[in-house]
Chain A
Amino acid sequence: MVSLGFRNAARSVSRLVAVTMLGGAGVLLMLVMQTIGRAVEAYTDALQRSVDATLQVRAAGSMGHVNMVGQSDILPSEALDKLRAIPHVAKVEPYLLAMTPTEGHNFAMVVGFNPGDTKRLESHGEAGIGKLVSGRDLTEADRGKRVAVIGQGFARWAGIHPDKLPAELTLDLTRTHPVIFALDRPAAKLAIVGIYSSGYVFGDMQLFLPLDTFRDIYGVPRGLSWLYVKADSAANVPLVERAIRAALGDQADIIAPTSVAEFQTTTTRAVRRLTAAGMALSALLLVVIVYLAMLLVVRERAWEIGTLKAIGAPNGSIAVAFLAEAFAYGLAGSALGLFLYLGVGTPLARQAFALAVGPFLPAQYKDTLLEVLSVSAALDAEQLAVVVAVVALVSVAGSAHGLAHLVRLSPLQAMRRE
């Protein structure tokens, strides 16, 4: 009966052509929507992998620089262990910060950190990560030693030449500046073992030294200026932010890179909803097409169905033939849809995204997405599986009404319906 069903689909060429064309359009729309959804998800995934999922934690209302006017409050040392215990926290890097005047109103940053941790330039790494251009980097063995790595701008100001390393640099903690107050500490001599460059003026005005050395020089036995908390994924940034808030309460300010999380929760969700709605609509279109086709079949072939019943066909066999016919219509439409998709899928997906999905995206992402989205109509096994599954479901859904009707009829009733 399966073979009969497939052969029945070819009995009316005009119907087969009409159903194939309409079904092909539905399948093409479905695949285009799926492509857009997948492209946006891939873009979000790539963003999640590449962007910094690091939060910065400071003492509330303070820049946390130990010698900065009005900004010298720092976090308690216990904060470090509290934050390390938070789920989805991959790493916590502590910084201690001070400022040192250079020329006029300018100043450089002095950063105490654990050798091996990231040397972030500027407050949140806006100037990137410095690249060593001369000498060596700090290592574990440098902990507690009076050694440092300096930015090339600061080195130039201090008269340190890249070819003459190690060089000596003296930090005078009594020097002041409109925003820097003097510390009653002795001057500290540091051996500069490396020079880095960031290509960014302010980023090159920093000095990195071991955290213990910083404590010794600046007389800060406890406490921390900043804690950099790296979440295990961009998606978990909001979760980690809430946990930090719960752990430290009002004593801390948190600066979180929420843009990615926001992107994920808004854009990806919006596109996913829109593409899912598009796919559902195209599946519905297919159901309607198959439904109408099968309704015609029931009307046209009532006598034939009655005959089959009269010669002993059980309802199950008739249903199998009926479903096979509906499935054949679906497959014919899918074949055309897939063919069109491979031919015009990519430009169509781009157009559909720009016209149908783009307007619904949050304004700040719309243009960026349109520019960078890599929409490609390549066909894979997953998409094929989706199409076959949809066609199977559509066949059942589209045939259900006609089938239920047929099953109820006696052979005589079926024959008289002609």
Chain B
Amino acid sequence: MALIELRSVSKAYRKGRAEVWALDGIDLSVSERGMVAIVGPSGSGKSSLLHLVGAMDRPSSGEVEVAGQRLGALPEKALSGFRQKTIGFVFQGFNLIPNLSALENVMLPMEFAGVAPTERRRRAEALLARVGLEARASHRPRELSGGEQQRTAIARALANDPPLVLADEPTGNLDSKTGQMIYELLREVARERTVLVVTHAEALAQMAERVIHIHDGKLVRDA
């Protein structure tokens, strides 16, 4: 069964007076579990695709359905609930809250989901242990290396046990060795859920089970 269904999805942005089509009539289906890489040159529309799937943005036309929910039909309040329960985000710049510790950063999505404080802490500690950061739980982001920050971000993405993790250039700010480590971690995460990774690093993309190529807002290859 497909976790993600995109039907004739287009997205246009205004750049001054001109209209730029970031995505142009995309049809895509992604099944449950597994790692899917979306590759393409800069400005090809791969991040736009990720944002639409993650309900961070709305399409100009077409339909996006994730985990059985048609996102276009959901009001803003329901979208935040959808992001809470269905999506885990991993950003290129890590996007950790600077004045919270690693543990508190991981606990944050659970607070939004109404998880009890003791349960939040227990789960967050387990997630940090899973990404190998149990000893760094009390450290703030600035006290962590780039790789540690990204591992914390992955633990945060898994906090509410979502069926889908969206990673936007997760190794873009890391050296190749650390990037490799992050990819391996994401591959492990993908054993129990779907991980959709946007990257322009072909070598890393080859570690995914499926690689989708995008160019000028269109799907050009799906293998």
Contacts and interface: CB of A to CB of B under 8 A. Distances in A.
B11 to A, nearest CB: 11
A127 B113 CA distance: 82
A134 B111 CA distance: 87
A309 B80 contact: yes
Interface stretch (A228-236, A313-321, A372-380): A313-321
Given A311-B112, A312-B81, A411 B99 contact: no
Given A4-B100, A312-B84, A313-B112, A307 B57 contact: no
Contacts of B112: 311-314, 317
Given A4-B97, A8-B99, A303-B95, A310 B113 contact: no
Contacts of B97: 4, 304, 307-308
Contacts of A7: 99-100
Interface in B36-77: 51, 54, 56-58, 76-77
Interface in A1-32: 1, 4, 7-8, 10-11
A360 B95 CA distance: 57
A383 B201 CA distance: 64
B56 A313 contact: no
A410 B57 contact: yes
Contact of A412 (B57, B77, B109, B156): B57
Interface string B154-175: 0011001000000000000000
A10 B83 CA distance: 29
A8 B99 CA distance: 7
A334 B123 CA distance: 39
B160 A310 contact: no
Given A1-B111, A303-B95, A410-B57, A311 B100 contact: no
B80 A314 contact: yes
- The majority secondary structure among interface residues of chain A is helix
B98 interface: yes
A325 B87 CA distance: 28
Contact of B77 (A308, A311, A314, A411): A314
Contacts of A312: 80-81, 83-85, 87, 109, 112-113, 160
Contact of A310 (B76, B83, B100, B111): B83
A256 B85 CA distance: 78
Contacts of B51: 412
B30 interface: no
Contacts of A10: 99
Interface string B113-156: 10000000000000000000000000000000000000000001
Given A411-B56, A412-B51, A412-B57, A311 B109 contact: yes
Contacts of A315: 76-77, 80
Interface string B97-109: 1111000000011
Nearest to B55: A411
A309 B157 CA distance: 13
A315 B57 CA distance: 16
Contacts of B76: 315
Contacts of B108: 308, 311, 313
Interface in B189-205: none
A310 B81 contact: no
A361 to B, nearest CB: 51
A318 B56 CA distance: 16
B56 A311 contact: no
Contacts of A309: 80, 83
Contacts of B100: 4, 7
Nearest to A312: B84
A283 B91 CA distance: 42
Nearest to B58: A410
A311 B89 contact: yes
Contact of B89 (A4, A11, A310): A310
A412 B166 CA distance: 14
B99 A307 contact: no
Nearest to A1: B111
A314 B80 CA distance: 6
A288 B51 CA distance: 36
A411 B47 CA distance: 14
Interface in A400-418: 410-412
11 contacts: A1-B111, A11-B99, A303-B95, A308-B97, A310-B54, A311-B156, A311-B157, A312-B83, A312-B84, A312-B160, A410-B58
Given A304-B97, A311-B112, A313-B112, 13 more contacts: A1-B111, A4-B97, A308-B97, A310-B54, A310-B89, A311-B83, A311-B84, A311-B88, A311-B157, A317-B111, A411-B83, A412-B51, A412-B57
Closest 6 CB pairs of A and B: A312-B84, A307-B95, A412-B56, A411-B56, A312-B112, A312-B83
